[in-house]
Structure 1
Amino acid sequence: MRDRTEAASKAKELVSRMTLEEKASQLKYDAPAIPRLGIPAYNWWNEVLHGVARAGTATVFPQAIGLAAMFDEDLQEKIADVISDEARAKYNGQSSHGDRDIYKGLTVWSPNINIFRDPRWGRGHETYGEDPYLTSRLGIRFIKGLQGSGKYLKTAACSKHFAVHSGPEAVRHQFDARVNAKDMNETYLAAFEATVREAEVESVMGAYNRVNGEPACGSETLLKKTLRDKWGFRGHVVSDCWAIRDFHVNHKVTATAPESAALAIKNGCDLNCGNTYLHILEALQEGLVTEEDITTACERLFTTRFLLGLFADDCEYDSIPVTDNDTDEHAALALEAAEKSMVLLENDGILPLDPQSIKTIAVIGPNADSIPALEGNYNGTSSRYVTFLEGLRDYGRKHGIRVLYSLGCHLFKDRTSGLAQADDRLAEAAMYAEAADVTIACVGLDAGLEGEEGDTGNEYFSGDKKDLLIPESQRRLLDVLEMSARKLITVVTAGSSLNVPGGNAKVFTWYPGQAGGTALAELLFGEKNFSGHLPLTFYQSIDDLPDFEDYSMENRTYRYFTGKPLYPFGHGLSYTTYEVLKADADDLTVSAEIRNTGSMAGDALIQVYAACDSPFAPVHPRLCGFQRVSLNPGETKTVSVTLDPFTRTVINSEGNRISAEHGTLYVGLGQPGFENAGDTVEIRF
């Protein structure tokens, strides 16, 4: 295993030979070479949220929220292992050609483990959803897959954005997120603590916003007292990009760039994504920092570079060839992930489609033949994209089914051609729907409509949502299809809660990655069974929620929401039926016997929720364990579900974790109290 003590010793020795100016130069994300010491240039900025991003050809997996919908820890780690293989393959090849540019290093700024607390947040699809426990488990396994288990780090993962960060995007550079102690420790910090303590994540990225008055990237409370002193974090901290500049420009907690640089580095932010650390020597001259502060940050950064084997001649990952990128095996894994992530929300019996009884299908909508609808944001470029139209057409060709296609409408404008009248594709959509046995409407969003403020990929359009509706152009299209189609299947592409009416069946695909079209066709025609589940509460309307800028968890997410959801957290239908026959529990494990009582093979998701008998418990039982299990028709299996070690505890109003002696475990197929959970087995403790 990796020897951090040895790496730190080597880093200390190397940094001791640098001049003050050389040490200071290494604290920016685009660190220059120091030829006299044999140190090559290194760019710390790389992204691998759901595949190696922004660096050319790579396997594109489902967006992070889609990975969460799989509820599959083992597959999560397997995907991250493949991503890190591709990152190493590309690094090895590109660095051998002297290309050490942005997005080509081994320090990867993923995963995003913020809590998706409000469906308006544009970046929510980068996360693993609204639940701290699910986010913790998937974050841990993703990090383990990225970092590997060898002598060296395969890549250095990064838990971001620390902390209390989930919109609004428009004011993130000056916003102060005010959070009470209970919500802080129960919700916003839980996944960060878990990834530091259990996954030993190598890096943590600070957030743009302030947290209870302190800018996150210069917060003594977060970076020193919590991250290092309380949790024992030993890696390096990086700022979000140009976040330190916000200290004096937007937050107004400092007056000058040297003061901002000093506040960040004194509180433990080692690496500046941005350029404010160009003023670090001015801060030294003004007496705001010491050379020791600069040295400590530099040593931490070089410890990571030594842990990555960047100065070694025996690194086991140096031999990964460029041909290990974009392989058939990786493509097959992307397809499996897409199949397991899609969620069947509603079905009146029309699905699965019978290819023997269908002669014509109409595939209609702005996301039917859209590559952006597959990608999400922070994405790579696949050489193997299969859009929904292409996947359905390929399937239809094999089974003698005619496929008709219409764009139907623009994604968000009122016409598809500037010279045309409004709704210029509705008549075409209607006539094709009338001619088809089944109509498949492909609607929703893409990362140009929900995403990051000022993101490099969509800097003029993206950001938060104002409501839970699809654009008006698509609502008019669905109205037409409701009247024209004999049978209507609504396929919704998005990364967040939406309320999309209509259809005989409804499928939520997220942003499913390069194989989205193949996966959708296989699922709709019953070649595969649906097994994805919602890692989010789907709400009826924004009117059901508190103000977007209110960071209290009151009436937010399934744990505290008091209204009636459109679809509950954990919801997901199947073509077969399952029954939990019995269950027993000990301190950290539930043993559940489950049977496939239907006529088709599938993957069931056992969900375990805990309700502690305590005034500090959430309003509703919280997720404390989950396990997928594959079952043939009529098959019964006994499954062991590992529980959250904190299942029998609560967080009190002071933010302290205390024991809850008694409570109830609910073992079922969904959130207790909802139809999708089936007959839950209750176990008192």
Structure 2
Amino acid sequence: MKKRSFVLYPLAVCLLMSMGAIAQNGKFPFQNYKLSFEERVNDLVSRMTLEEKVSQMLNAAPAIPRLEIPAYDWWNETLHGVARTPYNVTVYPQAIAMAATFDTAALFKMADFSALEGRVIFNKAVAAGKTNARYLGLTYWTPNINIFRDPRWGRGQETYGEDPFLTATLGDAFVRGLQGNDPKYLKAAACAKHYAVHSGPEPSRHVFNADVTPYDLWDTYLPAFRKLVVDSKVIGVMCAYNAFRTQPCCASDLLMTDILRNQWNFKGYVTSDCWAIDDFFKNHKTHPDAESASADAVFHGTDLDCGTDAYKALVQAVKDKKITEQQIDVSVKRLFLVRFKLGMFDPPSMVKYAQTPASELDAPVHGQHALQMARESIVLLKNTNNILPLAKNGKKIAVLGPNANNVIAQLGNYNGTPSKLTTVFQGIKDKVGATTQVVYEKAINFTNNNILAYIDISKACSIDGKPGFKATYYNNRELNGEPVATVFEQRLDHNWQEGENVVENLRANNFSARYVTDFKPTESGAITFELEADDGVRFTINGNTVFDSWTRKQRNIATYKLTTAKDSVYHLVLEYWQGEGKATLKLNTGQAVETDPDALAKKYSDADVFIFAGGISPQLEGEEMKVSDPGFNGGDRTTILLPAAQTALMKALHATGKPVIFVMMTGSAIATPWESENIPAIVNAWYGGQAAGTAIADVLFGDYNPSGRLPVTFYKSDSDLSAFEEYSMKNRTYRYFTGKPLYGFGYGLSYTTFRYDKLELPAVAPVGKAVSVSVQVTNTGKKEGDEVVQLYIINENTAITTPLKALKGFQRITLKPGQSRLVTFTVKGEDLTYVDANGKRQPLKGKVKICVGGNQPDEANPVSGNVVKKTVLLQ
């Protein structure tokens, strides 16, 4: 393991020490670190003008030189590792994949490691004088604890699944890991989002109004937020875009004032979702202008305006007496209290987290944990006749499919950039070594068979006597002024994280570029250009514009077929601008071909086994995306069926008689009726992070026994789903679904088997009190493996409305063959309650069935182990 240095960056030390000297000997009381944080914050805010106070309520808070307050940008993300930073970081599996581990200790450690890496990045920002730069701060707008109520929601991949108990438990582990355990200082600041009743559709999120019954509100949508606010002591909350009962969430009487601030006594800060304040008057039309919208949001406790400058209107709002300066003070004090708790105004010798060594960034131990979490997240859905694990000494393996070598898919969304990444294809090659031939072909796209057989035209491109493209970069969107840099690039294949260095002195945020070259083909014929770009792009050939979306901020995927003549010169100009968010720019060339599934199967018929890596990708599902492929709309899905092109190819592969292994990568539930009936082995690998390929190979070849469990229901078809826009929980998720799923919540197979017996619990227990439960679990197979022991309760009093069944406990354990372990649970009194029609929690009375096993208590589902059940009488 790499030796860790405990030496801070010299300039950072000097700056932090000078800040400490100011704190000790400064001219203002707020700089005296011997005073309490509250005293210091009160003193600081009392010295600020109204204009200065309002300026601090924007995510990009400017410096206040006269008070020696540095600039700070609040906007940062660490969904599954620090995101969008210009540095290499550890990228863990996507949130939905981490939920599939059912491993709170692993999630706690992941958050702890991410906070350490974030501290190093912040030290670098201080050293470079860039505390005003986005994605370098210590305030992370994570975790996303919305309930994944509908599999069509593109952002469901960011959540911990469909169950309130699982979401709350994992969210709690994340917050505690990220924020640390120091009694005075925060390691980093977590933020529970998106509060509340928010889960798509993406295209209408800025205008739709959600309304649910008090029962659904308190039974499903609020428990995880309550857990993080009341118990985990999360320091931040983000309010959602949508309206709730006609009021924008960031100005909701019920959500913001009554529940969050009054009932839950939340003392931390609230940020709007980015551009949500503008939605008040631009989209919801609930307010006439920015002034009224901003005043109402602050009145309801929304302290920070992200993404826009709507809050600048607060100065006039105070003058117009729409809000008082004292109310502004409340928000500003909350914001500065967070910064003080992060140790930003104290010497590093006082703040243990400020002494985080540089070696924590992308540390080897973090990478090992990313691999372990990827392994634990993989769910074995089907394994007919124990076809898995595969032998490593075969002759030939054909690895096919759009996710077989797809870096973007395994990284998920809201991701960072790892220093090392292993794809499925590479992981399999590394696993079997030189003794087995491993061949790869993309074969098809996600939704069609139209493949571009790539050719390298870089050798046929030159400009100003140099090969490749002449690239000119500008620090604006308009290609105006003096360029920041002019460089020569062999090919155009860029995938920048927002804030990442594009070229020296230019970061991927609101920039533009022009790429110019002369293409001289070596033979006559036709060539297809494939363009992929985020935001605005314009492509011309010999002065003729062949593609133009310059005025639109959107994701662009386009092709153009050019008939060429040998030795002719074609002048290519590609112009591009990127605003905010991830930036992609790729220009590929090749011969367009349509894959014939039968011909492809015949081509590789000498393979011992086909491994098809398909599913979907963050290229198709995600946050408010400009995607309209068949089955997808604006980042969401219009069908949960696996795209037909993938099923057609697997049918052809299956017809050869050779084994077909389906490795499915996804951030949401996919319906696979044909595959589940016909393909012998299906492995759900989610978006597994930097080590996805290694982890998948470990499972496929038996070096790791799969143990992941589904955190969402995999339905059979679209007909199982209610209307996407309907927020009622009726017939949604395993807690209320009355049909038979394809694969249920909590489901997952293993290469070994487990037996449950000796379930012990009291026959009678007092109402409202905890109940102790124990069960013996035995590994009855021949392989060591992890089992996720799950405890569910079933209310047998039909006079009240409750979930059909509800998860109330889980533990991940490791057992060797033949080994037994006694597993104990304490079902808390609060878990033996129900929500009445008015949204009030009441204690359960009468008979309650307690079920413990390797899956939920629905014997109609395939099971990985048996389930034992007993009834307790609560009286």
User: Of the candidates 861, 865, 869, which is equivalent to residue 678 of structure 1?
Assistant: 865
Structure 2 partner of 1:481:
653
In 1: Cα distance, 2:592 partner to 2:90 partner: 40
Q: Provide the aligned C-alpha RMSD in A.
A: 2.0
The answer as to 2:367 corresponding to 1:325 is no
The answer as to 2:191 corresponding to 1:147 is no
Letter in 2 for 1:545: L
In 1: Cα distance, 2:144 partner to 2:34 partner: 25
Q: In structure 2, do the counterparts of structure 1 residues 633 and 345 end up closer, same or farther at CA, with 3 Å as the change threshold?
A: same
Moved more, 354-363 or 117-126: 354-363
Q: Secondary structure at the match of 2:381?
A: strand
In 1: Cα distance, 2:336 partner to 2:63 partner: 13
Q: Secondary structure at the match of 2:355?
A: coil
User: Offset at 1:4?
Assistant: 14
Q: Deviations over 1:174-225 (max 9, x none)?
A: 0000110000000000100000111100000000001111110111211111
Alignment of 1:216-235 (within 5 A): 216-235=249-268
Q: In structure 2, do the counterparts of structure 1 residues 7 and 454 end up closer, same or farther at CA, with 3 Å as the change threshold?
A: farther
In 1: Cα distance, 2:785 partner to 2:285 partner: 55
Structure 1 partner of 2:738:
562
User: Of the candidates 411, 419, 423, which is equivalent to residue 446 of structure 2?
Assistant: 411
The answer as to 2:702 corresponding to 1:526 is yes
Structure 2 partner of 1:627:
811
Contact 1:351 1:524 in 2 (8 A): no
In 2: Cα distance, 1:672 partner to 1:403 partner: 42
Structure 1 partner of 2:60:
30
Structure 1 partner of 2:832:
648
Letter in 1 for 2:256: L
Contact 2:392 2:431 in 1 (8 A): no
In 1: Cα distance, 2:361 partner to 2:404 partner: 28
Q: Deviations over 1:42-69 (max 9, x none)?
A: 0000000000000031100000000000
User: Of the candidates 401, 405, 409, which is equivalent to residue 369 of structure 1?
Assistant: 405
Structure 2 partner of 1:88:
119
Q: In structure 2, do the counterparts of structure 1 residues 281 and 375 end up closer, same or farther at CA, with 3 Å as the change threshold?
A: same
Letter in 1 for 2:110: I
User: Of the candidates 739, 764, 773, which is equivalent to residue 590 of structure 1?
Assistant: 773
Q: Secondary structure at the match of 2:831?
A: coil
Letter in 2 for 1:600: K
Moved more, 354-363 or 206-215: 354-363
The answer as to 2:152 corresponding to 1:120 is yes
Letter in 1 for 2:595: D
The answer as to 2:94 corresponding to 1:63 is yes
Letter in 2 for 1:684: T
Q: Secondary structure at the match of 1:171?
A: coil
Q: Deviations over 1:375-428 (max 9, x none)?
A: 110000011110000000111216x11101111112334411256566336466
Structure 1 partner of 2:13:
none
In 1: Cα distance, 2:134 partner to 2:599 partner: 45
Contact 1:406 1:425 in 2 (8 A): no
Structure 2 partner of 1:282:
316
In 1: Cα distance, 2:622 partner to 2:657 partner: 33
Give TM-score, length-normalised by structure 2. 0.76
User: Of the candidates 578, 595, 599, which is equivalent to residue 782 of structure 2?
Assistant: 599
Contact 1:439 1:489 in 2 (8 A): yes
Q: Secondary structure at the match of 1:625?
A: strand
In 2: Cα distance, 1:163 partner to 1:4 partner: 39
The answer as to 2:635 corresponding to 1:463 is yes
Contact 2:749 2:864 in 1 (8 A): no
Q: Secondary structure at the match of 2:809?
A: strand
Q: Secondary structure at the match of 1:581?
A: strand
Letter in 1 for 2:97: G
In 2: Cα distance, 1:496 partner to 1:347 partner: 21
In 1: Cα distance, 2:169 partner to 2:151 partner: 22
Q: Deviations over 1:9-66 (max 9, x none)?
A: 2211111111111111000000000112111100000000000000031100000000
Moved more, 65-74 or 7-16: 7-16
Letter in 2 for 1:561: F
Contact 1:93 1:321 in 2 (8 A): no
Moved more, 112-121 or 657-666: 657-666
Q: In structure 2, do the counterparts of structure 1 residues 608 and 363 end up closer, same or farther at CA, with 3 Å as the change threshold?
A: same
In 2: Cα distance, 1:498 partner to 1:369 partner: 20
Q: Secondary structure at the match of 2:43?
A: helix
User: Offset at 1:589?
Assistant: 3.6
User: Of the candidates 793, 816, 822, which is equivalent to residue 638 of structure 1?
Assistant: 822
Letter in 2 for 1:412: T
Structure 1 partner of 2:140:
108
In 2: Cα distance, 1:545 partner to 1:559 partner: 14
Which 5+ residue runs of structure 1 have no aligned equivalent? none
User: Of the candidates 247, 259, 271, which is equivalent to residue 238 of structure 1?
Assistant: 271
Alignment of 1:149-298 (within 5 A): 149-150=181-182, 151-274=184-307, 275-298=309-332
Moved more, 405-414 or 60-69: 405-414
The answer as to 2:433 corresponding to 1:397 is yes
Moved more, 674-683 or 147-156: 674-683
User: Offset at 1:323?
Assistant: 2.3
The answer as to 2:498 corresponding to 1:315 is no
Q: State the structure with more CA Rg.
A: 2
In 2: Cα distance, 1:602 partner to 1:208 partner: 43
In 1: Cα distance, 2:235 partner to 2:82 partner: 18
Q: Secondary structure at the match of 2:778?
A: strand
User: Of the candidates 622, 625, 630, which is equivalent to residue 451 of structure 1?
Assistant: 622
Q: In structure 2, do the counterparts of structure 1 residues 89 and 403 end up closer, same or farther at CA, with 3 Å as the change threshold?
A: same
Q: Secondary structure at the match of 2:96?
A: helix
In 2: Cα distance, 1:656 partner to 1:330 partner: 43
Letter in 2 for 1:144: R
Letter in 1 for 2:773: V
Letter in 2 for 1:597: T
Contact 2:202 2:634 in 1 (8 A): no
Q: Deviations over 1:351-381 (max 9, x none)?
A: 4334355221110001000001111100000
In 1: Cα distance, 2:390 partner to 2:382 partner: 18
Structure 2 partner of 1:335:
371
Letter in 2 for 1:481: L
User: Offset at 1:557?
Assistant: 0.3
Letter in 2 for 1:591: S
Q: Secondary structure at the match of 2:399?
A: strand
Q: Secondary structure at the match of 1:361?
A: strand
Q: In structure 2, do the counterparts of structure 1 residues 280 and 397 end up closer, same or farther at CA, with 3 Å as the change threshold?
A: same
Letter in 2 for 1:249: K
Q: Secondary structure at the match of 2:123?
A: helix
Structure 1 partner of 2:853:
668
Give TM-score, length-normalised by structure 1. 0.96
In 2: Cα distance, 1:5 partner to 1:498 partner: 56
Letter in 2 for 1:200: K
Contact 1:434 1:485 in 2 (8 A): no
Structure 2 partner of 1:657:
841
Q: Secondary structure at the match of 1:480?
A: helix
Letter in 2 for 1:560: Y
Contact 1:388 1:517 in 2 (8 A): yes
In 2: Cα distance, 1:345 partner to 1:414 partner: 26
Q: Secondary structure at the match of 2:637?
A: coil
Q: In structure 2, do the counterparts of structure 1 residues 375 and 479 end up closer, same or farther at CA, with 3 Å as the change threshold?
A: same
Moved more, 234-243 or 345-354: 345-354
Structure 2 partner of 1:306:
340
Letter in 2 for 1:650: Y
| Percent identical residues | 44
In 2: Cα distance, 1:433 partner to 1:521 partner: 20
Query: Would you tell me which structure has more strand in proportion to its own residues?
Result: 2
